[in-house]
Amino acid sequence: MRFISTRFAGAIAAVLAAVLAASFFVSPATAANPRGLYGTQDATYDGVFRQSLAIIALRSHGASVPVSAQNWLINQQCSDGAFEAFRADTSAACKDADLEAYSGKDSNSTALGALALLALGKKAKAARAVSWLRRAQNPDGGLPWLTGLESDAASTALAMLAARSSGAPMFKKNGKTMVSFLRATVLGCGVESNKRGAVSFQKSSPLVANDLTTAQVAAALSTTLPITPQPRSSANVTFACPGGVPSTNAGLKDVMAGYLSHRLADNKFTIPSAFGTGVDWSSTSWSVLALLGARRGLAEATKTVQQLRKNVDTVIRGGDESIEPGKTALLLLVVRAVGAKASDFGGVNLLKTLQGTLQ
């Protein structure tokens, strides 16, 4: 199996938040028939992911999803239940993982596809996607992005969200569970105190804190998607040393929430970009979802939502200033979780904005 390089791991993490960071790829394909696809951006690397996020977000607010958008996603599903990031020709058979081109069936697209199918009430199709994810589990308990790669915490978290939301039993292989794998990626007492509780993208040596991955793992350990308004606590749990990494779901999500709360507070209630200066708004949104799902860090989550509201126009746009459906959908999930108005968030009607990206 292969490890993903640090540079590539960072790009994958960005894709998981529906933010393309794929400048190192070549020869992008375009949708042969984009009807029903949310967003006009190239779909090669995030078509299924952003379509799924859009569907989940719309349904979480009780909005209908046009048949064309439903069919676009359904037609992308492979015969064995999996999804690729995007298939320009859905009449052709799906491709197995290609570790040279980094393409083919992947666990991230499949996990989000399963969640979207659940949101549409397509339980049988969603179950087939979850079953494929179960078969994709590695012997260490984690899941890889592509079959043949080493397991990573982000892919494992998304698969866990899909399984938990569908009501399926948690995956187990060779006596190893997804939780046992995730526990091995948590930074513990051997690092600086402000990094304890963070999650590394992979079980590298040494472990490297990854904010987006931490947020996705904390959410997966805590809740289902979408998250609904519920009582939360402002109390945060301090990582105990000596003591080490907690062994329970509750303990793990609490120390991750503690890390995220401090990370947000130390950066004006945003998550800084891992690719230079500026703010990573998608990781910021995921961090709010993680705190709300974990029922921790209410004060930090509330102040972060204020930042998202204040900067909403920047949050939902890409580098070319066009509306990005993945980012908009992610923000809509935050709005649903806090019980805010989707029709007027920072002066923007997020529902109409997302619906307006439909081709």
What is the CATH code for 6-355?
1.50.10
Look at phi and psi of residue 255 and say left if phi exceeds 0, alpha if psi is from -120 to 50, else beta.
alpha
pLDDT tens, 18-49? 333 333 333 344 445 799 999 999 999 999 99
pLDDT in tens, 281-323: 999 999 999 999 999 999 999 999 999 999 999 999 998 899 9
Own/partner pairs, 154-157, CB within 8 angstroms, 24+ separation = 154/12, 154/13, 154/16, 154/108, 154/201, 154/210, 154/212, 154/213, 154/216, 154/217, 155/107, 155/108, 155/111, 156/181, 156/182, 156/217, 156/220, 157/182, 157/213, 157/216, 157/217, 157/219, 157/220, 157/221
Q: Is residue 9 predicted with pLDDT exceeding 70? A: no
Buried b (16+ CB within 10 A) or exposed e, 213-222: bbbbbbbbbb
Question: How does pLDDT run across 218-255, given as a tens digit for each residue?
Answer: 999 999 999 988 877 777 888 889 888 998 889 999 99
| Global model pTM greater than 0.85 | yes
Q: Which residues pair with 251 in a beta bridge?
A: none
Q: Where are the domains of the chain?
A: 6-355
